[in-house]
Amino acid sequence: MKIKQIKIVCLHFSNPICAFLCKGQRIQRNGTNAKKGMVINMNNTIKELYERRSVRAFEDREIGKEEKSAIIEAALQAPTAGNMTLYTILDVTDEELKKKLSVTCDNQPFIAEAKMVLIFLADYRRWYKIFEKHCSDVRRPGEGDLFLAQADALIAAQNAVVAAQSLGIGSCYIGDITENYEIHKELLGLPKYVVPAAMVVFGYPTAQQKERKKPTRFKASDIVCENTYSKEKADRMEEMLSYHTGGLSGRELSEWIGRFCKRKWNSEFSREMSRSCRAIIDDFCK
Ligand SMILES: Cc1cc2nc3c(=O)[nH]c(=O)nc-3n(C[C@H](O)[C@H](O)[C@H](O)COP(=O)(O)O)c2cc1C
| Ligand 1 centroid – CA 80 distance (Å) | 23
What residues contact 9, with CB distance under 8 A and at least 6 apart? 36, 37, 220, 221
What's the 26 CA to ligand 1 centre distance in angstroms? 33
Q: Is residue 265 part of a domain?
A: no
Q: Do 118 and 178 sit in the same domain of this protein?
A: yes
Residue located nearest, by CA, to atom 18 of ligand 1: 54
Q: Where are the alpha helices (DSSP H) in 167-236?
A: 181-188, 207-211, 220-223, 231-234
- Residues 13, 74, single domain; the answer is no
Q: Do residue 95 and residue 33 come from a single domain? A: no
Residue 76 and residue 199 share a domain: yes
- Verify that 206 and 91 share a domain, yes or no: yes
Average pLDDT score over the chain: 89
Q: Same structural domain for residues 18 and 147?
A: no
Please state, in angstroms and rounded to a whole number, the distance separating the CA atoms of residues 197 and 89. 10
- pTM: predicted TM-score of the whole model, two decimal places: 0.89
Q: Is residue 12 part of a domain?
A: yes
What atom in ligand 1 is closest to the CA of residue 56? 11
Domain that holds residue 203: 65-210
Nearest CA to ligand 1 atom 2: 175
Ligand 1 center to 11 CA (angstroms): 30
> What is the Å distance from ligand 1's center to 102 Cα?
15
CB-defined site of ligand 1, < 6 Å: 53-54, 56, 108, 172-176, 214-215
| Whether residues 116 and 42 fall in one domain | no
- Based on the structure, what is the number of domains in the chain? 2
Which residue lies with its CA nearest to atom 31 of ligand 1?
173
Q: Tell which residue, 213, 214, 218, 181, has the closest CA to residue 197.
A: 181
Which of 175, 210, 245 lies at the terminal end of a domain, its last residue?
210
Flag whether 206 is in a domain.
yes
Query: Measured in angstroms, how far is the CA atom of residue 117 from the centroid of ligand 1?
Result: 15
At 146-204, the pLDDT tens digits run 999 999 999 999 999 999 999 999 999 999 999 999 999 999 999 999 999 999 999 99
Residues 18 and 90 in one domain: no
Candidate of 174, 184, 202, 276 to mutate for ligand 1, largest count of ligand atoms within 8 Å of Cβ: 174
Please provide residue 273's backbone torsions phi and psi, each rounded to the nearest 5 degrees: -60, -40
With respect to residue 137, please indicate whether it lies within any of the assigned structural domains: yes
Is residue 150 domain-resident? yes
Q: Identify the pLDDT of residue 42.
A: 85
Q: Is residue 130 domain-resident?
A: yes
Looking at the fold, whether 41 and 74 belong to one and the same domain comes out as: no
User: Of 210, 244, 274, which closes a domain?
Assistant: 210
Least Cα distance to 221 among 234, 207, 206 occurs for: 234
**Atom 10 in ligand 1: which residue has the minimum CA distance?**
174
Give 10-residue mean pLDDT values along the chain (286 residues): 50 37 37 49 91 97 98 98 98 98 98 98 98 97 98 98 98 98 98 98 97 94 96 94 94 97 96 98 96
**Residue 124 domain-assigned (yes or no):** yes
Whether 87 and 202 map to the same domain: the answer is yes
Percent of residues, the chain, with pLDDT higher than 70: 86
> Which one, of 92, 197, 196, lies nearest residue 155 by Cα?
197
Final residue belonging to a domain, choices 210, 228, 255: 210
- The SS3 of residue 156 is helix
